[in-house]
A and B are shown apart, each in its own frame.
Chain A
Amino acid sequence: MATLRLSTPLRPYVEGKAELTLDGDTVADTMRSLTEQYPTLRAHLFNSQGELRPFVHLFINNEDIRHLQGLDTPVHPEDRLMLVPSIAGG
């Protein structure tokens, strides 16, 4: 199990919690655990094809998973994950 920190706008969907402890051997598994426990989050994090929405950024121990193995990045019990959105529009 690892710790996942969520940004403010997502916390109302997880009972107001800023951090969660989740099962998963990879980032993908951890995200699956997150949306299985809190299914109303899923539509905001994933598109209809099951892909992460482009504004969703995941960091593991302060490193962007895009610079590692992406969603296949292994997760260890002592790891700290963060889900931080980029903000865009216009």
Chain B
Amino acid sequence: MPSRVLEIPAHTLEQIHRLGESAYPDEGAGFLLGNGEHPRRVAGILPLTNTREAEARRRRYMISPEDTLFAEMEADRRGLLVVGVFHSHPDHPEIPSEYDREWALPWFSYLITSVQGGRAAASRAWRLNDDRSGFDEEQII
């Protein structure tokens, strides 16, 4: 049983699933906004543009530093924090890849949705461990 939890309202998770489906066969991504910790609660999301080139978007996503800064300003405006990232894995499991690990930031919750044949199948949440060797799963509630 994961030691950390990520609270996310059902309608927000549903919204993330629909975004993953609409991005299919590309990866969709955006930020999770919420409070910090104990427990971490997602209060909203901020979908953003996958800035990778067209062919790469099938297996990779990227959010620019300018969009990251915009998200932090928007979160601050709403009285929230950017607490993580959501992205989809088209026809792949909802488990972080090695590429996800290389690019992951500490402290963030990474919610990954597996979108199989255009339909959201499952989501799981992960947090990079401090030595960057891998991820610890967070229980979504």
Set B62, B108, B132: member contacting A88, Cβ < 8 A:
B62
B69 and A90 form a contact (CB under 8 A): no
Please report the C-alpha to C-alpha distance between residue A55 and residue B106 in the assembled complex, in whole angstroms.
12
A87 and B103 form a contact (CB under 8 A): yes
Which bracket fits the contact residues of B? 35 or more
Set B64, B81, B103, B130: member contacting A89, Cβ < 8 A:
B103
| Chain A residues near B31 (CB-CB < 8 A) | 87
B68 and A87 form a contact (CB under 8 A): yes
Shortest B17–chain A CB gap in Å is: 18
In the complex, A7 has a CB within 8 A of chain B? yes
B61 and A40 form a contact (CB under 8 A): no
| Chain B residues near A86 (CB-CB < 8 A) | 62-65, 68
12 extra A-B contacts, CB within 8 A, seeds A89-B85, A89-B87: A7-B82, A8-B72, A9-B82, A9-B105, A57-B65, A84-B65, A86-B68, A88-B60, A88-B63, A88-B99, A90-B89, A90-B100
A-B contact count (CB 8 A): 85
In the complex, B18 has a CB within 8 A of chain A? no
Nearest A residue (CB) for B103: A88
| Chain A residues near B68 (CB-CB < 8 A) | 7, 84-87
| Chain B residues near A82 (CB-CB < 8 A) | 69
Set B63, B66, B81: member contacting A8, Cβ < 8 A:
B81
| Chain B residues near A12 (CB-CB < 8 A) | 106-107
Chain B interface residues toward A at CB < 8 A: 27, 29, 31, 52, 59-66, 68-69, 72, 75, 81-83, 85, 87, 89, 96-97, 99-100, 103-108, 110, 130-132
A90 and B61 form a contact (CB under 8 A): yes
Nearest B residue (CB) for A11: B107
Please report the C-alpha to C-alpha distance between residue A9 and residue B81 in the assembled complex, in whole angstroms.
10
| Chain A residues near B64 (CB-CB < 8 A) | 86
User: Which among B81, B83, B106 has the greatest number of chain A C-beta atoms within 10 A?
Assistant: B106
Residues 13 to 47 of chain A near chain B (Cβ within 8 Å): 13, 40, 43-44
Residues 38 to 90 of chain A near chain B (Cβ within 8 Å): 40, 43-44, 54-55, 57, 59, 82, 84-90
Set B62, B81, B89, B132: member contacting A87, Cβ < 8 A:
B62
